[in-house]
Structure 1
């Protein structure tokens, strides 16, 4: 039989063509003839981890285990069948075919029923089930997220669901199985309608019954925004573009960062603690959930009022700072803080450095195809990191850094990648509805249910949050430290009671002028203090006389979250007990 008449080969070619209809996703399955032994088996990995559940509605159903024996019986119940990554791949092909059929017939796309779910456990939950072995992830095995609240830069009040008592910032509290408010796990439920989520919720409650308890407000719901904003987060920017492609599992788009499978999935090449992993962790991943509230009305108002300040955001070079009318200035200020225009077009490209391009922003073959290099600009080296077009502090540049050669190895940047699978929550922010209302009132709260996956907490989520976003000196752009500032979207504001302003001081005995980049060792005396002097060691950064310091307020605050382990499906089944 020829290859052309081989049914399997024909099906393979048809599937490859179909996936062109979902290229707008950040994660597109790679269709191959056979699986590689060096790659995770898609049927073993739970469904949201690799490709992300296709969804319009999503529910995070948090639980506590009341009866470990009964809960294990639920895991082995024939009706408990968590969605696998292979199932998600098939669902994506169904969606792609529905779109292809609709385009051919000139009709609206028919709904594809989606009943998808997976399960994840906190370290405390694993211990309650009697699973004493560590996962090999030192942070997950020791800490709950509440222990790390200050470390992560969270300064506002958390929701009661996540704000457990008796946390321990130093030694961790993950082993405290008697804590009455500790979360033991979460179901991630996704579908095309809210009724899909309700149906799966009812199924899970029937399977696990009284062996689990759902705490008050333990069902946290999200949904995509309506109509043309379906792919946007609440500030209005297209979400989910800068995803990493897993080598051998994802079809990489032009410019997309590629990572080894072990960066995301435990037990494979790229797993930073591969030698420490017990066998049962293979095919698993760490899931981080974080409820991020967005102050949308305040964001929009600030952009309009302070739009002309775009000239003071790095990227603030004479050649790219023309005078703009207020509306365009507001859009550019927001784009420089985010790193992309609302369409998704990156400001790192010359052609989109000052103006949005809706076509480019919606083109998956172009909206990721850049590396922040600046070429053909006199006086700007194409071989060194530059903020000529895009600020070093821009959110997308902080959290998905690229091309920091020669100061940061590309392998290091790849190893810090995470797969994001979040979804918006809360009502739309319409000024006429919110006017006169307190945005802190629960019914007006809105934001992002942040959800991400990686094999290792410290290498992925923690590095992106504290090492990148909250780190004033990242990205590293020279041999001497440069203070760029925090990520203006997710950066951690100063702790309560501290000053966000730089402290003034006078030199005790100035001996010479300062040279940019020179290491110094100084004795300082603070004005108004007569009894103390201070020794300060560091590097000099000479500020241009014309550079104005702009203080951007923070418009996103964390309301809490938790760390979870997403076991492989074979591991889940091995934990099951008798019915």
Structure 2
């Protein structure tokens, strides 16, 4: 299995029977939903977590033929139940052997349709969707995200997902090995070009491959990191609910100080934030169950919207920026980079390691996400005999950072997930409380593409970056909200905070200049002007990942 498998990416149960710590009476009275894990596609609530992925994009050309073909390949689509069982077995073997194991390997497949693709299959049913972002498509919404209007980043030049090359279907393949990945790709291509078997007969696909994109975890020492060199995927929400009728929680309660969290800092959210047909978050009380999340066709239950962005990264340009500005501010490139991201390259949070990296903390999933921005962190000892987390860094607890002295307000992780930050004016468009913030979360399933940057190779083709994949039940209120109201808004959380220096984009009549404000140790505020984009969109799309039952309905079976 993948070498990048820490629990931060995978909110699934422990390898053995869960040793749930005692919880309060009030918590016991909050009944969590039974999730239909045999219907929810894998990779949504439980990530595939594989070292190798390939995205295959199809254009549907013959609807009648495609429906028969879809019926033939549905059995190969992974379910959450299958991924859970595999992960449980893998973790059990690894726990006993104390080493990474290749005793069990797997290859998974997931399918997601664009609105255009669903329209081809059933126009009346597709029209029932309400999310404006999904129905318009990413290409038409890209300018609202401050994507460039010209050049490489403009949607009309994208490799996939522009108005002239939008896909109807995206197939995600994920595997433990390069060899099995190649086999899976050949099999899907064979299905498309030569047909698939249905009831002993070969049925043509009625579709064509219009684009393929490989992704892979980076080789050591960058395994688990993105191309800029920073550990990725550390902060993921947990999921409330059980795997079917079992008592196994999708995300175990492991924070002894807060039964509503998985590991410390990992809030367990109601599943309706990510999968239709279940309660979502209450925007006024983070611990209470909110409204049932449903929209569109009745068959959208157990389905999820998927946002895909192919983001090219200018690694050399970014590190030149860190070096030059870090020296100018007398911080050094590493500390300045940690302030830009909110974490050191290792993954250790700057809120807990404000002046120097802490490699041990970065590897400890019970500590590397245990912090807030407004309030100091007060850990609690675990119950004896439980699988609760112990904080092994009592001298490095996160303190109050209300002024953004440690982690700037525009630091990437503070912009993209403000935690307990509070907007200056609760009447503004920005969220006034932490409970509302939790209604804008994403389940991210990204993976790098391209070879690592080598500064000795000149010229460098620059073909590397991140395949950003994120699941949610509202593209407008989750992905687009995060980008528009947090990442790209220089006035959030405080006036003059600046743009997210990693993902943030500014575009005023073609002017791409943005800024990033950082406070020095003496409290002096420095505003850095950034004229170059380090992350450039080169493809993408808005998709919907239906349930297994919905796939069957769409196939006409």
TM-score by length of 1: 0.74
- Range moving further from structure 2, 389-398 or 493-502: 493-502
Structure-1 separation of matches of 2:541 and 2:414 = 25
What is the correspondence of 1:177-576 to structure 2 with a 5 Å cutoff? 181-208=165-192, 209=195, 210-216=204-210, 218-248=211-241, 249-251=250-252, 252-270=262-280, 274=293, 276-309=295-328, 311=329, 329-349=332-352, 352-373=353-374, 385-405=402-422, 407=426, 408-433=432-457, 435=458, 437=459, 439=460, 441=461, 444-475=462-493, 477=494, 482-495=495-508, 497-498=510-511, 500=513, 547-552=525-530, 553-576=532-555
What is the correspondence of 1:49-198 to structure 2 with a 5 Å cutoff? 49-77=44-72, 80-103=75-98, 109-110=101-102, 112-133=104-125, 134=127, 136-155=129-148, 156-158=153-155, 159-162=157-160, 164-165=162-163, 181-198=165-182
How far does residue 27 in structure 1 lie from its aligned partner after superposition?
Answer: 2.3
Structure possessing the higher radius of gyration over alpha carbons: 1
State the match for 1:524 in structure 2.
none
How far does residue 88 in structure 1 lie from its aligned partner after superposition?
Answer: 1.1
Give a deviation string over 1:376-418, Cα, whole Å, max 9, x none: 9xxxxx8883302110000011111111248522221111000
CA contact (8 A) 1:102 1:110 kept: no
Structure-2 separation of matches of 1:197 and 1:546 = 52
How far does residue 342 in structure 1 lie from its aligned partner after superposition?
Answer: 0.9
Structure-2 separation of matches of 1:142 and 1:577 = 23
State the match for 1:316 in structure 2.
none
How far does residue 23 in structure 1 lie from its aligned partner after superposition?
Answer: 4.8
State the match for 1:513 in structure 2.
none
How far does residue 58 in structure 1 lie from its aligned partner after superposition?
Answer: 0.4
Structure-2 separation of matches of 1:501 and 1:108 = 44
CA contact (8 A) 1:137 1:456 kept: no
Query: Aligned with 1:288: secondary structure?
Result: strand
CA contact (8 A) 1:266 1:283 kept: yes
State the Cα RMSD in Å.
Answer: 2.8
Question: Using a 3 Å threshold, how does the CA distance of structure 1 residues 68 and 341 change in structure 2: closer, same or farther?
Answer: same
- Where does structure 1 differ by over 6 angstroms across 4 or more consecutive aligned residues? none
How far does residue 77 in structure 1 lie from its aligned partner after superposition?
Answer: 1.7
Query: Aligned with 2:541: secondary structure?
Result: strand
How far does residue 548 in structure 1 lie from its aligned partner after superposition?
Answer: 4.0
Query: Aligned with 2:227: secondary structure?
Result: coil
Give a deviation string over 1:257-316, Cα, whole Å, max 9, x none: 22111001112101778354432010000000000011111122222222134x4xxxxx
Structure-1 separation of matches of 2:500 and 2:492 = 9
Query: Aligned with 1:336: secondary structure?
Result: helix
Question: Using a 3 Å threshold, how does the CA distance of structure 1 residues 135 and 411 change in structure 2: closer, same or farther?
Answer: farther
Give a deviation string over 1:304-362, Cα, whole Å, max 9, x none: 222134x4xxxxxxxxxxx65xxxx110010000010111111122xx11111001111
How far does residue 162 in structure 1 lie from its aligned partner after superposition?
Answer: 2.6
Give a deviation string over 1:104-143, Cα, whole Å, max 9, x none: xxx6632532110010000000011124224544224531
CA contact (8 A) 1:267 1:277 kept: no
How far does residue 550 in structure 1 lie from its aligned partner after superposition?
Answer: 1.6
Query: Aligned with 2:72: secondary structure?
Result: coil
Structure-1 separation of matches of 2:422 and 2:410 = 17
Structure-1 separation of matches of 2:294 and 2:91 = 40
Question: Using a 3 Å threshold, how does the CA distance of structure 1 residues 566 and 424 change in structure 2: closer, same or farther?
Answer: same
How far does residue 183 in structure 1 lie from its aligned partner after superposition?
Answer: 1.1
Question: Using a 3 Å threshold, how does the CA distance of structure 1 residues 206 and 577 change in structure 2: closer, same or farther?
Answer: farther
State the match for 2:22 in structure 1.
none
Structure-2 separation of matches of 1:71 and 1:409 = 47
Question: Using a 3 Å threshold, how does the CA distance of structure 1 residues 118 and 500 change in structure 2: closer, same or farther?
Answer: closer
How far does residue 499 in structure 1 lie from its aligned partner after superposition?
Answer: 7.2
What is the correspondence of 1:24-39 to structure 2 with a 5 Å cutoff? 24-30=7-13, 38-39=33-34
Gaps of 5+ in 2: 19-30, 196-203, 242-249, 253-261, 282-290, 378-398, 427-431, 516-521
Question: Using a 3 Å threshold, how does the CA distance of structure 1 residues 423 and 550 change in structure 2: closer, same or farther?
Answer: same
CA contact (8 A) 2:415 2:486 kept: yes
- Range moving further from structure 2, 329-338 or 203-212: 203-212
Give a deviation string over 1:471-513, Cα, whole Å, max 9, x none: 11222x5xxxx221111111113346437489xxxxxxxxxxx
Structure-2 separation of matches of 1:501 and 1:186 = 33
Question: Using a 3 Å threshold, how does the CA distance of structure 1 residues 545 and 571 change in structure 2: closer, same or farther?
Answer: closer
CA contact (8 A) 1:58 1:197 kept: yes
Give a deviation string over 1:154-209, Cα, whole Å, max 9, x none: 112445433544xxxxxxxxxxxxxx733101001100123322322333344453
Higher strand share: 2
TM-score by length of 2: 0.77
Structure-2 separation of matches of 1:464 and 1:293 = 20
CA contact (8 A) 2:275 2:301 kept: yes
Structure-1 separation of matches of 2:86 and 2:367 = 26
Structure-2 separation of matches of 1:142 and 1:576 = 21
Structure-2 separation of matches of 1:266 and 1:46 = 12
Give a deviation string over 1:235-258, Cα, whole Å, max 9, x none: 111001110101122221111122
Structure-2 separation of matches of 1:111 and 1:157 = 45
